[in-house]
């Protein structure tokens, strides 16, 4: 039996392109028909130094997440196909656990945040902006929910 869960997506900054924001919003709207979903944007770093950005944003993400379990989107993380990703979400749902996805900022995240992640997940071995990663993540969550509820995918 599949139970309801809450999915949360946490990231620093904003989606900077209108067309990516529109796509992300569309998938979030679609996900809401099947699950609770929350989007949390933390303030991004204003530093021009990449190392400082990583540390400041990672510190804010860690503070926000607290002791919760989370899945970190990371180019160096584990790769999985859509069916396996859907199985991961289904398993969490069946066990009554909410899912928190964390997407890093422009320069990535600290090693400390990587170590704290319960799973590091790669969308692709290619590197994408965090805005594109958010769009791809939302689409895959939506596709997974359609699989879980045995519904055809809306193109």
- Structural domain includes residue 78: yes
Whether 93 and 148 have beta carbons less than 8 Å apart is answered as: yes
- Structural domain includes residue 144: yes
- Say how far apart CA 28 and CA 79 lie, in whole Å: 23
Find the domain containing 56 and state its range: 6-148
**pTM across the whole model:** 0.93
Under DSSP, is residue 94 helix (H, G, I), strand (E, B) or coil? helix
- Structural domain includes residue 153: no
For residue 1, what pLDDT is reported? 44
Pairing of strands 99-103, 36-42: unpaired
- Structural domain includes residue 67: yes
For residue 154, what pLDDT is reported? 72
What CATH number is associated with residue 70?
3.40.1280.10
The torsion angles phi and psi of 9, rounded to 5 degrees, stand at -120, 120
For residue 155, what pLDDT is reported? 65
- Structural domain includes residue 1: no
Q: How does pLDDT run along the chain (155 residues), one tens digit per residue?
A: 455 689 999 999 999 899 999 999 999 999 999 999 999 999 999 999 999 999 999 999 999 999 999 999 999 999 999 999 999 999 998 988 999 999 999 999 999 999 999 999 999 999 899 899 999 999 999 999 999 999 988 76
Query: Shortest CA distance to 119 belongs to which of 94, 95, 92?
Result: 92
For residue 3, what pLDDT is reported? 55
- Say how far apart CA 155 and CA 142 lie, in whole Å: 11
- Structural domain includes residue 155: no
- Structural domain includes residue 107: yes
Query: Shortest CA distance to 147 belongs to which of 36, 38, 31?
Result: 31
Domain count, the chain: 1
Beta bridge partners of 7: 37, 99
- Say how far apart CA 65 and CA 69 lie, in whole Å: 8
- Structural domain includes residue 73: yes
């Amino acid at each position: 039996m599949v139970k309801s869960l809450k999915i949360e997506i946490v990231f620093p900054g904003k989606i900077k392109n209108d067309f990516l924001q529109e796509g992300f919003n569309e998938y979030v709207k679609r996900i809401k028909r099947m699950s609770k979903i929350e989007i949390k944007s933390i303030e991004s770093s204003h530093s021009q130094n990449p190392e400082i950005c990583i540390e400041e944003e990672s510190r804010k993400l860690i503070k926000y997440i607290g002791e919760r379990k989370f899945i970190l989107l990371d180019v160096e993380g584990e790769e999985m196909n859509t069916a396996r990703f859907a199985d991961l979400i289904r398993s969490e749902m069946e066990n009554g656990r909410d899912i928190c996805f964390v997407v890093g900022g422009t320069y990535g995240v600290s090693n400390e945040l990587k170590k704290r992640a319960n799973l590091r997940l790669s969308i692709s071995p290619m590197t994408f902006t965090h805005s594109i990663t958010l769009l791809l993540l939302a689409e895959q969550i939506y596709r997974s929910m359609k699989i879980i509820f045995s519904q055809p995918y809306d193109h």
